[in-house]
Amino acid sequence: MLERLNQVMGHIEGHLDQSIDVAGLARTAATSEYHLRRMFSALAGMPLSEYIRRRRLTVAGADVLAGHESLLEIAVRYGYGSGEAFARAFRAMHGVGPGEARRTGAALVAQPRLTFRLTVEGNSSMRYRVVDRPDFTVVGFKTRVPLVHSGPNQAIIDFVRGLDREALERLEKLADQEPQGIVAVCDDLDPSRAEGTELDYYQGVITTAAAPDGTTTLTVPSGAWAVFTVSGPTPEAIQTLWRDVFTQWFPSNPYRGRPGPEILRTRLSADGSEADAELWLPVEREPA
């Protein structure tokens, strides 16, 4: 997988002054567009679209300083429809407009070309299983929250604290399928998975029972699920697991992510500092 990702990086590098089709990049990586975006974001720490934008502006910055072409010619070559649009993007990355950068020879920001390498640590193992599930239903309370990659998600904390305890206890009694009990469900995530993009968040249960008043229903199609378990300090252990699944497990196993909700069942210690967690991710086998 890493070799194919590096082929994708080479293709991007050779086409920075052309339109880049992400579906074509996925074919180069021999995977789906959905999984390519997820994998890249986890490995690189930024969305694929952001990496391409930053690489273009890095190369464009060198052209601006070289002074051989007009700023409009450079803007058009790197896909900007006007000099104004190019100037805004250039300033957002470099902290200075292209005209000023050319006049003063200002220092610019560079996005290095990425290369992926495998680091073998070998000192830990990942507990997982893959299960096939028929259609099932999530019933619970829903809100829209921003995506947070590291540290507590205050929007989720505030939402859960605001829920009626008795209503949650009644809801928990309806859970009759795995994963049992109250679960956190994230759905409708932005494909880029960029920090701050929004997602649907449910505090609910997996059940065959009718939805109580005031709750929302999410129907989940049948398919395969990879189920990972972890124990440790919260939220660090869970966020580390999420990262390791995409940086270690997927590159080492014949599966790829597929669209669908991500489900987390958490059991906290008495003081709330530790957690036993079970993470359910929708997957499918990579084509042979």
Residue 74 phi/psi, 5° resolution?
A: -65, -45
Q: Give dist(CA 14, CA 216) in Å, integer.
A: 47
Helices marked H in the chain: 2-14, 22-28, 33-44, 48-66, 71-77, 83-94, 98-104, 154-161, 165-172, 236-244, 250-252
Burial class (CB in 10 A: 0-12, 13-18, 19+), 124: exposed
Mean predicted confidence (pLDDT) in 96-109 = 93
- Bridge partners, residue 132, by sequence: 224
Residues in the chain: 288
Query: Which is nearest to 124 in space by CA: 254, 258, 230?
Result: 230
Helix (H, G, I), strand (E, B) or coil at 270: coil
Per-residue pLDDT at 48: 93
As given in the structure block, the two tokens for residue 10 are 């080479």
Residue 261: asked if its preceding bond is cis (omega within 30°), the reply is no
Helices H / strands E in the chain, number of each: 11, 9
pLDDT digits (tens, 9 = 90+) for 234-280: 878 888 888 888 878 888 788 999 999 999 999 988 888 888 999 99
CB count within 10 Å of CB 170 equals 11
Prediction pTM value: 0.77
Give the pLDDT band of residue 117 (cuts 50, 70, 90).
Answer: confident
Q: State how far the alpha carbon of 80 is from the alpha carbons of 76, 102, 244, in Å.
A: 5, 18, 36
Residue 212: asked if its preceding bond is cis (omega within 30°), the reply is no
Residue spans of the domains in the chain: they are 2-104, 127-285
pLDDT digits (tens, 9 = 90+) for 6-45: 999 999 999 999 999 999 999 999 899 999 998 888 888 8
Contacts for 260 with CB less than 8 Å, ≥ 6 apart: 187, 220, 221, 223, 282
Per-residue pLDDT at 242: 82
pLDDT at 119 > cutoff 80: no
Q: Give dist(CA 60, CA 98) in Å, integer.
A: 9
pLDDT at 123 > cutoff 50: no
> What CATH number does domain 127-285 carry, 2.60.40.10, 3.10.129.10, 3.30.1330.10, 3.20.80.10?
3.20.80.10
Per-residue pLDDT at 125: 60
Contacts of residues 9-18 at CB distance under 8 Å and 24 or more positions apart, as own/partner, are 9/113, 9/114, 9/115, 9/116, 12/51, 12/52, 12/55, 13/55, 13/113, 16/52, 16/55, 16/56, 16/59, 16/78, 17/56, 17/59, 17/77, 17/78, 17/79
Q: Which CATH superfamily is domain 2-104 in?
A: Homeodomain-like (1.10.10.60)
